[in-house]
Chains A and B, each alone.
Chain A
Amino acid sequence: MDTLLNDLRERLGAKIVRDKLETGQLTIEVKAADITEVCLVLRDDEALAFNQLSDLCGLDYLSYGKADWETRDTTRTGFSRGVSQGVYIDTPDIEDRFAVVYHLLSLKHNRRLRVRSFVSGQPPKIASVTPIWAGANWFEREAFDLFGILFDGHPDLRRILTDYGFRGHPFRKDFPLEGNVEVRYDPEEGRVVYQPVSIKNRVLVPKTIRQDNRYTGSGESRGG
């Protein structure tokens, strides 16, 4: 893995904003503006030869590290109660909220690499890698559908998993788990109608962050 990092540093130099090795897997972070250039090097350079894109996905860091239940500091009234509905307010201007993560595989060298790129803007936008790896086509459509990240240069950027005419981007952290609309058959109108959802989200197990030092050997904080 060290050799991989050296190879990458040699070829990409300052384009690597950050790099991190954890559980034997290397992650590099690049600027969104550099993504096409970096990916071309990763694919075409003989020493790297990442000829397959295993996976591409969006990521929303809006509620990263925020727990429903304060466990570290007690107050005079005791621990806070886990009463959050698990929904966070949409704050579009937040820096580094969305990221696109690419998982690359080199069949030649039998190595994997994770590339992360934070995307900003309203809506967030990054260049498409479909011209580089043909397999990225549907992955980018999915990331667009679920996170609302635009991929510049994608041949056919349509929604893929959600319903026809769906509104919103369901995997964003500010999108409620139970959704916004539900469907039912309306016998009077004689068709299926959409209406605001009637169910409420119940948090059965609050999100809790605890530091258990026995298992912290492998992980570090996102900032490195």
Chain B
Amino acid sequence: MPEIRNMTMNFGPQHPAAHGVLRLVLEMDGEVIERADPHIGLLHRATEKLAESKPYNQSIGYMDRLDYVSMMCNEHAYVLAIEKLLGITPPVRARYIRVMFDEITRVLNHLMWLGAHGLDIGAMSMFLYCFREREDLMDCYEAVSGTRMHATYYRPGGVYRDLPAEMPRYQETSNRSRAEVKKLNEKRQGSLLDFIAAFVERFPGCIDEYETLLTDNRIWKQRTVGIGVVPPERAIELGFTGPMLRGSGVEWDLRRKQPYEVYDQLDFAIPVGVNGDCYDRYLVRVEEMRQSTAIISQCVDWLRDNPGPVIIDDHKLVPPQRETMKDDMESLIHHFKLFTEGYCVPEGEVYAAVEHPKGEFGIYLVSDGANKPYRLKVRAPGFVHLSSLDEMVQGHMLADVVAMIGTQDIVFGEIDR
């Protein structure tokens, strides 16, 4: 009789279903997985160390590049940490804008997740539908910050600038005819808020479309129901947060439990799962998109009625208006000091966490009173979730690994940092 041995298989780092640069070493007994050893760090850029060498504001852009599909939420945790140490509170309009963009980001993230997760386990068309809607939300990013992804829009003390009164429009070019441009610009006649309001009205219908394709789909359910079950107690022990924890039936959401910004004044529900499997986590995330839409809509209404400042009026922290720099010595000095040296944050330490689309995204900031962080630690939800992959996949088939990676909503920017 021949000797039977377990087979060790390498998965990734160049694998389309690895969601980036995950290398998995799988120990297989036939097609059943006995042990999974994720090798991470292939995208390690030492963001935390880089932040130690730069003034506070220069690291906001690095935050976008952590979880590069939910950019503004990363920034949010970082600026919250700085604000807590400085003891400042942004104006209420800035807080509404932040909440609105956090939720836009959540929808962006969940759309990316749904598309990629669907693609991984056989629902090819989901990817196309999800990316269609993502396009509009990216346009919102572009309208406020000038970039479609890495916005660097949040600042300690508020947001960089107010919402534009006009949505940017397409221009006629040699390869884009007038009729085409007119059609593209139909949705862009009003302000950014009008554009978002139109999206919010349309989007629940889109979610219904996704659900028609997936929720009762036999193949989808065969791939996700009963796969990767995590009991609630175990989920807490492993450090799960966000939809991974709520999918197991634990009602825990920082927006509700430890509200920041204006979440305590908004009306929304926290969906939870029952079985803690991939299917329940799918349902939780889809419902979260609906809830986010409701939050965005409430923010749009409030922002329409309440104009006001969007960043604190303190030029020790926030650069003065460019016009005033031309004839006001004080403004010129403030501007010069801010952009050459930055501001010093008082000595102390703080942990600020936000309910990121993937879970609890925390920033632990230690300051020794300098103009640069002494130590910055990013608590990335994906890092914790991926560490449990070994436990989740044991006893499952090889094909389920892909479902598991998908359900964890892994992005390597934040895991490797």
Contact = CB atoms under 8 A, between A and B. Distances in A.
Interface string B326-350: 0000000000000011111111111
Nearest to B88: A215
B85 A218 contact: yes
A218 B369 contact: no
Contacts of B417: 161
Given A134-B239, A208-B341, A222-B347, 16 more contacts: A22-B350, A23-B85, A23-B87, A54-B351, A54-B353, A55-B362, A55-B377, A59-B366, A60-B375, A107-B236, A114-B349, A114-B351, A138-B386, A207-B370, A212-B343, A218-B86
A52 interface: yes
Contacts of B40: 160-161
A103 B351 contact: yes
A210 interface: yes
Interface of A: 22-23, 25, 27, 51-55, 57, 59-60, 64-65, 67, 86, 101, 103, 107, 110, 112, 114, 133-138, 142, 159-163, 170-171, 177, 203, 205, 207-212, 214-222
A103 B364 contact: yes
Contact of B250 (A107, A142, A161): A107
19 contacts: A22-B350, A23-B84, A51-B236, A54-B241, A86-B53, A107-B252, A114-B351, A135-B238, A138-B387, A160-B41, A171-B46, A177-B49, A207-B370, A207-B372, A217-B87, A218-B84, A218-B87, A219-B85, A220-B348
Interface of B: 40-41, 44, 46, 48-50, 53-55, 58, 84-88, 234, 236-241, 250, 252, 257-258, 316, 340-351, 353, 360, 362, 364, 366-372, 374-375, 377, 379, 383-384, 386-388, 416-417
Contacts of B343: 212
Nearest to B363: A55
A54 B354 CA distance: 12
B49 A54 contact: no
B371 A55 contact: no
A22 B365 CA distance: 13
Given A23-B84, A207-B370, A217-B87, A135 B237 contact: yes
A57 B46 contact: no
A219 B344 CA distance: 12
Contacts of B84: 23, 218
Contact of A212 (B55, B344, B349, B368): B344
A116 B377 CA distance: 14
Contacts of B350: 22-23, 25
A19 B314 CA distance: 33
A49 B353 CA distance: 20
B311 to A, nearest CB: 16
Given A52-B237, A107-B252, A114-B351, A215 B86 contact: yes
A103 B379 contact: yes
Nearest to B345: A215
Contact of A57 (B237, B353, B364): B364
Contacts of B234: 134
A203 B340 CA distance: 12
The 6 closest A-B CB pairs, nearest first, are A135-B239, A219-B348, A219-B346, A138-B387, A161-B41, A55-B379
Contacts of A112: 351
A175 B293 CA distance: 46
Contacts of A208: 341, 344, 370-371
Contacts of B53: 86, 177, 203
Contact of A134 (B237, B345, B379): B237
B49 A205 contact: no
Contacts of B387: 135, 137-138
B263 to A, nearest CB: 15
A163 B23 CA distance: 13
A114 B379 CA distance: 14
